[in-house]
Structure 1
Amino acid sequence: MKSKNLIKTVLTWGLLLFGLLMLVYPKIAHHPFFPIFKYQNLNSYGPLIIPVVYLWSYLTRAWGAFIFAFMFGGIIAAFIPTQSMRRMFSGKSIKSYFFAAAFAPVLTICSCAMIPIFGGILIAGAGIGPAISFLLMAPAANILALLFTGEIISWKLALARLIFSFFGAIIIGYILDKTPWGKAEEKRYGSITAARTSVGETRNFYKKSADALNEAWGLTSKALPFLLLGVAAVSYVEAYLPKEVVATFLTGSTGIFLGAAIGVPMYTPTLVEVFLVKGLINLGMSPGAAIAFLIGAPMASIPSMLGVSRLINWRCVVNYAILAIIIGIIAGFLYMGIIGTL
């Protein structure tokens, strides 16, 4: 048993460090550690090949983030004491929502990679409300996404993205925490946490590391297949939805509504959404529609919703997605009414 736990310990921390290296290296060296597959025109491939090409391109970009995220989620679940997690992420304290939303931007990962970390903090004892706030804030307004938004589009838009995402994530998490289905999920995870805590006092570092690997695998097997299924489905939107046609309708009040909603099928990895919005702005997209998209898309994409649905019930998922779109719409109208320009 000791040798088995030792092997799992090496695997746990080795995979975590390897995933972290794959995340950090491209940002320092300005080129990926391993080659990234790039396609020119996705619609030039046959209908059966399109999802394969899209998935391969996606995985060559995101596999490092996935390794890090799933291992990090497992480590959180296994190592963080339940009382500490409940104190930091308790749904009963409004401070927990602010803490969750303030800490999340440190993680520069997309909505899909946030799923295992979300699962990890739930298993460790977090309340459903702060956990939802944490889940939504990181992809919507992480540090690099804000820097890219400021440098590539405008700093006014970047500041608006931070403010609306921050308070939007807090509001959505708080509302979900008060719903019957949110309370049901918190009760269910409370039972899981209680069972885990009953044996937690006797675990040493090696046992916790082995448990972390098991937790990471559990999160992977639950969420990853549905997440990849969602990415494959989105490939057809990428292939057949002309950006020029989208930009034509992304002006005025209608544009704000569409800007918040089209992000649901138009999944984009973190930072890529900035370049997409910049291109749409060049084609005529209004600033209000841009901020609506930058909030709605990272919070409520189809792949991430499919993945999250394996961890919490569909009512929670659909409700936070609807609320995210509403927050995006409100942000778009407020931005146009108060600022109006880039």
Structure 2
Amino acid sequence: MADQYLIDLINVGLGALQEYLALHVLLCLVPAFFLAGAIASLFSKESVLKFFGSDTPKYISYPVAAVSGCMLAVCSCTVLPLFAGIFRRGAGIGPATTFLFSAPAINILAIVYTAKILGYDLGIARAAIAISFSVVIGITMAAIFERKVSKKEGLVAFGDEKHKYSVYLFILLLAILVLPEFISDWRLLAALEIPLVLITISLSFKWFSREELESWMSETWFLVKQITPLLLVGVFAAGIIVELLPAEYVVAVVGSDSFFSNFVASVAAALMYFSTLTEVPIISALTELGMGRGPALAMLLAGPALSLPNMIVISRIMGIRKGFVYITLVVLVASIAGFAFARLWLA
């Protein structure tokens, strides 16, 4: 009996995995991987990170810190060494923590995948709230811990010819990625997508050197190897969670859109470890069991930003006091954002 039950659970997980592979990989993750790889390899990190210094005006440093996660294609793992680097090299605590919170949440893969699986309302809300509330966190951290006012200097010009071509490539890849969302007819989709892919390939060879193209493919393959196995495990586990976890328990704890439910979801997400993108299938499974839309957003915001290992690293980099304040702010911001989103969503 126990053996049969275990086999049934495995079959449930495999069924969820089969459904995921059939519906989402080719038209969602594959273009997104190429897009993320291009961002990581062809955009100059230095040209973005140089704006985080204390000599950069706040009206420049905070917006750049809030949106640069999309351009740098960082995940919850790779954001920590980047944060450590810019913080130790003299970045203000405000822009540095703005980047730390926003970057993993607006990873292009994360946004696309969230919108695809959980709905465009949650995908857009995740990006918009992560960007806006990251500035709130950064300004609060600066107000508490920055006592010294630095002299502001001019801003170094951004970008060059290569950066211009990188932007063009970004637009083309983004078009390839989103086109299937608006066209359901396969013949029309193929008639548009295939020429667009061929044009992108042709222009890529024209715009970039062989070394740059190899770097792009290498970065894309690295992301595939790093993310795909964990993502498939997450999808498999999410299918089993739906089968094992009583829906009544989920509804009782995070089924409503009260502030308490959002706070519980934020704390739970902060204590858990989500590998890149694995939060999406797990949260999708919980929503099937009755979790509210607000708590789902709260988990999407707190989960990538925090985990127990992440908190330890952050506290070692910033110090225990700064780390504690930052962690508290993330949990509160995620709770408030989920609560507010639920009010608007239900209106």
Class of the TM-score when normalised by the shorter of the 2 chains: 0.5 to 0.7
Letter in 2 for 1:151: K
1:232 counterpart residue number: none
Selected match of 2:91 from 107, 126, 139: 126
Higher Cα radius of gyration? 2
Q: 1:102 to 1:281 in 2, by over 3 A?
A: same
Alignment: residue pair count: 220
1:258 counterpart residue number: 264
1:290-305 → structure 2 map (5 Å cutoff)? 290-305=296-311
1:137 counterpart residue number: 102
1:19 counterpart residue number: none
1:89-104 → structure 2 map (5 Å cutoff)? 90=55, 93-104=58-69
Q: Is the 8 A contact 1:91 1:97 kept in 2?
A: no
TM-score (norm 1): 0.56
1:108-119 → structure 2 map (5 Å cutoff)? 108-119=73-84
Which 10-residue stretch deviates more, 116-125 or 288-297?
116-125
Per the TM alignment, residue 249 of structure 1 is displaced from its structure 2 partner at its CA by 1.0
Per the TM alignment, residue 267 of structure 1 is displaced from its structure 2 partner at its CA by 1.4
Per the TM alignment, residue 255 of structure 1 is displaced from its structure 2 partner at its CA by 1.9
Q: 1:149 to 1:321 in 2, by over 3 A?
A: same
Which 10-residue stretch deviates more, 258-267 or 277-286?
258-267
- Return the alpha-carbon distance in structure 2 between the equivalents of residues 303 and 155 of structure 1: 30
Per the TM alignment, residue 115 of structure 1 is displaced from its structure 2 partner at its CA by 0.9
1:284 aligns with 2:290: yes
Letter in 1 for 2:129: F
Per the TM alignment, residue 297 of structure 1 is displaced from its structure 2 partner at its CA by 1.6
Selected match of 1:309 from 310, 315, 319: 315
1:36 counterpart residue number: none
Q: For each residue in 1:92-112, what CA deviation from the matched residue of structure 2 results, as whole angstroms up to 9, or x when unmatched?
A: 513211111111123344323
Letter in 2 for 1:336: A
In structure 2, runs of 5+ residues without a counterpart are 1-28, 151-240
Percentage of matched positions with identical amino acids: 31
In structure 1, runs of 5+ residues without a counterpart are 1-26, 32-64, 70-74, 188-238
- Return the alpha-carbon distance in structure 1 between the equivalents of residues 302 and 70 of structure 2: 16
- Return the alpha-carbon distance in structure 2 between the equivalents of residues 90 and 136 of structure 1: 21
1:249 counterpart residue number: 253
Q: Which runs of 4+ in 1 moved over 6 A?
A: none
Selected match of 1:329 from 329, 335, 341: 335
Letter in 2 for 1:154: G
Q: For each residue in 1:231-264, what CA deviation from the matched residue of structure 2 results, as whole angstroms up to 9, or x when unmatched?
A: xxxxxxxx9xx75445541122132121111111
2:281 counterpart residue number: 275
Q: Is the 8 A contact 1:287 1:340 kept in 2?
A: no
- Return the alpha-carbon distance in structure 2 between the equivalents of residues 29 and 159 of structure 1: 19
Letter in 2 for 1:106: M
Q: For each residue in 1:191-221, what CA deviation from the matched residue of structure 2 results, as whole angstroms up to 9, or x when unmatched?
A: xxxxxxxxxxxxxxxxxxxxxxxxxxxxxxx
Per the TM alignment, residue 29 of structure 1 is displaced from its structure 2 partner at its CA by 9.9
Q: Is the 8 A contact 2:51 2:64 kept in 1?
A: no
Q: For each residue in 1:263-309, what CA deviation from the matched residue of structure 2 results, as whole angstroms up to 9, or x when unmatched?
A: 11111012111111001001110001100111112222221111122
Q: Is the 8 A contact 1:250 1:289 kept in 2?
A: yes
1:178 counterpart residue number: 143
Q: Is the 8 A contact 2:67 2:103 kept in 1?
A: no
Q: Is the 8 A contact 2:52 2:95 kept in 1?
A: no
2:182 counterpart residue number: none
